[in-house]
Amino acid sequence: MKYLTVEELVTHVTQNHEERYNPTAPVFKCDDGYVVSIQAGQWAYSIPRRDSEDSYESYELGFPNRSDELLDEYAENIDDLTETVYGYVPADVVLALINKHMTGSDV
């Protein structure tokens, strides 16, 4: 099993800076079919709130194709967990979420 690293997550986000304001991009697709937008930078609810080639402390996620309990507490709209933004999600939670859906098990 291959787990996503912090470096790979940062690469995914920084390769898509020009698409940042589109709420459906950049999209991360997992092996089990889970899909979520992951963004960071000046237009996103992330720390830092600037475009960076460095790691982010937190990311903005949005519009997953299904809910996941790892994200619930960060939801902007708790009444519709697939049509909302998740702001300031800590990097370790993002990695746990992605790795969970890439490997089919909690990490």
Q: What is the pLDDT of residue 27?
A: 78
Q: What is the pLDDT of residue 30?
A: 86
d(CA 97, CA 91): 10
- Contact status, residue 48 vs residue 60, Cβ threshold 8 Å: no
At what angle are helices 91-103 and 6-14 packed, to 10 degrees?
A: 100
Q: What is the pLDDT of residue 63?
A: 92
Surface-to-core class of residue 18, CB atoms within 10 Å of its CB (0-12 exposed, 13-18 middle, 19+ buried): exposed
Q: What is the pLDDT of residue 94?
A: 93
Q: What is the pLDDT of residue 9?
A: 73
What are the pLDDT tens digits along the chain (107 aa)?
455 666 777 776 666 555 444 544 567 888 888 989 888 888 889 998 776 666 789 999 999 999 999 999 999 999 999 999 999 999 999 999 998 998 765 55
